[in-house]
A and B are shown apart, each in its own frame.
Chain A
Amino acid sequence: MTLSKPKRIASWIGQLIAVAIMGQTLFFKFTGHAESVQLFTELEMEPTGRYLIGALELVACLLLLIPSSVVYGALLGAGLMSGAIIGHITRLGWAGDRLSLGLSAIAALTACSAVLFLRRKEIPLVKSVLKDRPH
């Protein structure tokens, strides 16, 4: 499935935004930065969850950058960012630094969703339905 050039450029912008947002937190997660440890402690996931989520975000970033697996990366990224937003709603709150963290999660989710929308004809379980549409 090949996208038209404008859609392909739009998709890559979305992919790069999602990768930039998820990627910049990886360093803090893997090095055990105090704020990151604090977040995952509040989520009662420290330290296993911090490494697990970090690893999944790394995988999502890589998938988003490999042309043949962009939709899988976007799906994984959207799932992780949805989880982060649930975390903000239920436990972490939005006060102070948490607001910018929460907003960046929303931005990444939006980017992933946009990529998924642009590449909806590549999404497993959806593509077959879209392709069979009578012209």
Chain B
Amino acid sequence: MSTKLAVNLHKLARFINVVIPLLLVLSFLLGWLVSFYFHFLTIAFLFLSLLNAYYLFGQRNHTLLRNFGILGQGRYMLESLGPELRQYLYANDTEERPFNRAERAEVYRKATNVDSAASFGSQNDFDQTEIKVRHSMFPTATSDLEPFRLVFGEDRQLENAYALKVPFIVSAMSYGALGQRAIRSFARGMGAVGGLMNTGEGGYPKYHLMESCDLVFQMGTAKFGVRNEDGSLNEKALAEIAALPQVKMIEIKLSQGAKPGKGGILPKEKITDEIAMLRGVSKDRDIVSPPCHVECKDYASTVAFIERVRSISELPTGIKLCIGHLDQFAQLAREMSRQGVFPDWITIDGAEGGTGAAPKAFIDRVGLPLLPALKGAHDLLVSAGIRDQLKLLASGKLINPGAQIVALCLGADAICTARGFMFAAGCIQAMQCGSNTCPVGITTHNPELQRGIVIEDKAKRVANYVRNLEHDLAELLCAVGVRSTREIGFQHLYVPSQSILNSYANAPLTP
């Protein structure tokens, strides 16, 4: 079958390119001889002729316009409308990426406290890839559920051990990545439910501290806020931040899912004077963090660095990484055992992750996806006999209860999500986080765009989202027939033959 259109567009274009100047002459004659009003048309065709001449003979950038003239512009105009048209009209509820409309709508309903019951069956494919949760014939009574409680630092009897009571943590997003109103909305909402929020690697967490929520201070590879000139750790600055009453824990970011193997990026469009000051950098160019900490050259120095941060901060201290090789993770675990130093938690970031700017190849191609990384890491720690020494947190598209319970079954002790909270605060997935043009004011520093965010209102949505996630998690735990998240495991999952996890279903990984 021919794919050519019935109309020969090149012929049509050449016809139009001749007709426009002819119409210019015709309307000029009519304006001269019949009525001066025809000169409105003369002017219109004059401008059109000039534009067309520029397309055909002036510009050299667009071949299509050089060959077709004004008609070629139709293609660019239609193409520019494409993303919006597809999102509004043509994409079905389950086909968009990274989050489809059904997933987004579930968060929106939770955030606004609207019942998220669906009818007439699932819209998902019940195919050979989808992991399902196995329920019990004898569900747990709601009254038998144990309240969630996860204590970081308890294993080493830390004086400043932190008890997490809400299993959903606001994942690392810096002031810089987010605007100040978005940060304060998240922080106020999490404060209301007694939750925990990660500050991201944005230096001194000025806006996070304006609300009452518990914080994890994240130290990225550039150590914004706690760095010396040479990029090494400024111990005094870290001790000062760790001494802030709201800062409960410290997270050392080794790598992140959006761009594993590469440092964080803040495009210069988003760098204000204040951000440059809080981070101690110039505002004239993109902020690109180094790919790793200067202190972390090998396994031994990495574990030693964890211990150093732990002893300076006197707080529970964890690490965050996206796994590339599971055997490297196994080596790191072995080194922890050798030195007898275990981070209080490890956040496993799936390669799915990322709100911010990253080279497309890194977003699309680099790093292990969350599910195999999490399962692999959990199995390695179990078989090394050190799973009890630390907690595992999981992040990577875990915005809905269905995805979250799967991660908990794979070994996670709690869930981190960034984009889930962004949706709760009104994100519409415009995917402009890196360009300072976020239309809903979340990832921009433009005050005119931030204006739309009413912190009090968005904080309520964030709190609603957390409470409804807790409600759904409780119901799922009851259905599975367990009393707490500690009791669920891989045996509660049905893993079909084509699933990414199938190899683990048949032959659990051994180190």
Contacts and interface: CB of A to CB of B under 8 A. Distances in A.
Interface of A: 43-45, 49, 75, 79, 82-83, 86-87, 90-91, 125-126, 128-130, 132-134
Given A79-B44, A129-B61, A132-B61, 20 more contacts: A43-B36, A44-B35, A45-B37, A49-B36, A79-B47, A82-B46, A83-B42, A83-B43, A86-B28, A86-B39, A86-B42, A87-B39, A91-B36, A125-B51, A125-B73, A126-B51, A128-B76, A129-B65, A130-B61, A134-B61
Nearest to A79: B43
13 contacts: A45-B37, A49-B36, A75-B47, A82-B43, A86-B28, A86-B42, A126-B51, A126-B54, A128-B76, A129-B55, A129-B62, A130-B59, A133-B61
Contacts of B51: 125-126
Contacts of B44: 79
Contacts of B28: 86
B61 A45 contact: no
A44 B65 CA distance: 40
B40 interface: yes
A122 B478 CA distance: 60
A125 B65 CA distance: 11
Contacts of B15: none
Instruction: Classify the secondary structure of A's interface with B.
Output: helix
Instruction: Output the residue of A126, A129, A133 with the most chain B CB within 10 A.
Output: A129
Given A45-B36, A82-B43, A126-B54, A90 B65 contact: no
Interface in B466-492: none
Contact of A83 (B32, B39, B54): B39
B62 to A, nearest CB: 6
Contacts of B73: 125
Interface string B22-48: 000000100110011101101110110
A82 to B, nearest CB: 5
Contacts of A126: 51, 54
Instruction: Classify the secondary structure of B's interface with A.
Output: helix
Nearest to B46: A82
A79 B76 CA distance: 26
Given A90-B32, A129-B59, A83 B65 contact: no
B36 to A, nearest CB: 4
Nearest to B54: A126
Contacts of B59: 129-130
Interface in B46-91: 46-47, 51, 54-55, 59, 61-62, 65, 73, 76
Nearest to A133: B61
Interface string B487-506: 00000000000000000000
Contacts of B61: 129-130, 132-134
A54 to B, nearest CB: 15
Nearest to B33: A90
A83 B62 contact: no
Contact of B31 (A75, A86, A130): A86
Contacts of B65: 129
List 8 tightest A-B contacts by C-beta distance, closest first.
A43-B36, A79-B43, A129-B59, A90-B32, A132-B61, A83-B39, A133-B61, A82-B43
B37 to A, nearest CB: 7
B36 A87 contact: yes
Contact of B37 (A49, A75, A90): A49
B436 to A, nearest CB: 13
A49 B46 CA distance: 20
A43 B39 CA distance: 11
A101 B79 CA distance: 45
A90 B62 CA distance: 38
A91 B35 CA distance: 11
Contact of A44 (B36, B42, B47): B36
B437 to A, nearest CB: 13
Nearest to A45: B36
A57 to B, nearest CB: 14
Contacts of B42: 83, 86
B62 A132 contact: yes
A83 B35 CA distance: 13
Instruction: Output the residue of B28, B39, B42, B65 with the most chain A CB within 10 A.
Output: B39
Contacts of A44: 35-36
Nearest to B36: A43
Contacts of B31: 86, 90
A44 B39 CA distance: 12
Contacts of B55: 129
Contacts of B39: 83, 86-87
Contacts of A129: 55, 59, 61-62, 65
A120 B245 CA distance: 54
A125 B54 CA distance: 11
Nearest to B43: A79
Nearest to A134: B61
Contacts of A86: 28, 31, 39, 42
